[in-house]
């Protein structure tokens, strides 16, 4: 499966069935897609309102995308953007810190890894809800599903924060048991990890700050399996995580307060896709040759992004006419494009 006929677009209620299937197929790696049809429908409706831009932005918007395989004629993936983390409150996570203790008399110096509960990511834009059917993992489709969102953010910066984050799943077993939760969170919440995930529904609840310790937590005092799992990634998260790392996200500064998974964070303006994107005028005429690229139109409600091969000529990009049509555009229209390695 090596074709490039994919289309990233806003989700509609017609996609509800397949998004519900994705939510059931996903493991613990997608916190924002629970298999609840009514909630998923409400999420799509909320997204459509955000794309339409009928109301002034207030940070509470979310944007939900789906990825179509145009050759197969079906939706094969989904992803999203949350305009502002905890827009009505605070987003809690742990910040990795290191403290040095030493005794000159004994000649001993210790460097201790600690976790400090913080609200640093409150107000950040968040990438969320990434899922793609496994058979597409080795294609370019995941690149479009993840990075295409960044082109939308790049085209509408006033809708989003200057800094961006992305939660990534930490280690847990098939039943949802997390070593980090068992060693740390469970001591304060007195409930299993899956139940805590279900009841909180996010990282912005006030009782997180009320129950979790504000003093630094010394990682060396936790159980050995929790120490090893801290900052480690669930295997199901490796694909989207790798794309974030390649984009230039910092993945070492923050971890999730529940399962210890790494939280990626960056300045939007420094991300690879944003830095290298250029506005172009589309020209029709190139065939299957040329540079591999990701191209998006400049529309909001009618956002479309696709993969293509094209020829960059100054401020013009020559594409196959069918590719231009996939974007809902005609030759001569403006778009933005990023070269792919």
CA 277 to the chain's CA centroid: 19
Tokens of 128: 């969320």
Q: Which residue among the candidates 64, 124, 234, 326 is catalytic per the annotation? A: 234
What distances in angstroms separate CA 101 from CA 106, 109, 113, 229, 327, one per listed residue?
A: 12, 6, 11, 24, 59
Do the beta carbons of residue 306 and residue 8 sit within 8 Å?
A: yes
Q: Residue 289's closest CA among 308, 317, 309?
A: 309
Residue 134 φ then ψ, to 5°: -55, -35
Q: Residue 62's closest CA among 7, 27, 11?
A: 11
Distance CA 37, CA 61 (A): 20
Q: How do strand 125-132 and strand 74-82 relate by DSSP bridges?
A: antiparallel
Place of tokens 């989003």: 160
Q: Is 186 a catalytic residue?
A: no
Do the beta carbons of residue 296 and residue 194 sit within 8 Å?
A: no
Catalytic residues, which ones? 234
């Amino acid at each position: 499966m090596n074709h490039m006929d994919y289309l990233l677009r806003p989700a509609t209620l017609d996609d509800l069935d397949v998004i519900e299937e994705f939510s059931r197929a996903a493991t613990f790696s997608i916190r924002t897609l629970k298999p609840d049809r009514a909630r998923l429908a409400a999420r799509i409706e909320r997204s459509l309102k955000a794309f339409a831009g009928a109301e002034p932005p207030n940070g509470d918007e979310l944007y939900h995308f789906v990825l179509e395989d145009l050759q197969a004629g079906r939706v094969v993936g989904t992803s999203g953007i949350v305009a502002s983390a905890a827009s009505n409150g605070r987003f809690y996570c742990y910040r990795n810190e290191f403290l040095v203790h030493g005794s000159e008399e004994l000649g001993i110096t210790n460097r201790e890894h600690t976790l400090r509960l913080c609200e640093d990511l409150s107000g950040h834009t968040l990438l969320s809800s990434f899922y793609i059917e496994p058979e597409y993992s080795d294609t370019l489709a995941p690149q479009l599903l993840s990075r295409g969102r960044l082109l939308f953010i790049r085209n509408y910066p006033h809708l989003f924060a200057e800094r961006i984050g992305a939660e990534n799943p930490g280690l847990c077993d098939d039943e949802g048991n997390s070593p980090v939760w068992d060693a740390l969170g469970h001591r304060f919440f007195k409930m299993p990890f899956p139940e805590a995930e279900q009841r909180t529904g996010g990282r912005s609840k006030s009782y997180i700050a009320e129950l979790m310790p504000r003093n630094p937590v010394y990682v060396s005092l936790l159980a050995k399996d929790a120490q090893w799992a801290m900052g480690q990634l669930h295997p199901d998260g490796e694909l989207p995580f790798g794309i974030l790392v390649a984009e230039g996200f910092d993945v070492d500064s923050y971890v999730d307060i529940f399962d210890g998974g790494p939280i990626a964070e960056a300045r939007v303006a420094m991300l690879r896709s944003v830095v290298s994107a250029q506005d172009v005028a589309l020209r029709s005429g190139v065939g299957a040759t040329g540079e591999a690229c990701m191209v998006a139109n400049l529309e909001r409600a009618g956002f479309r992004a696709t993969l293509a091969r094209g020829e960059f000529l100054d401020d013009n990009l020559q594409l196959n006419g069918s590719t231009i049509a996939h974007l809902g555009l005609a030759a001569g229209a403006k778009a933005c494009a990023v070269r792919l390695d």
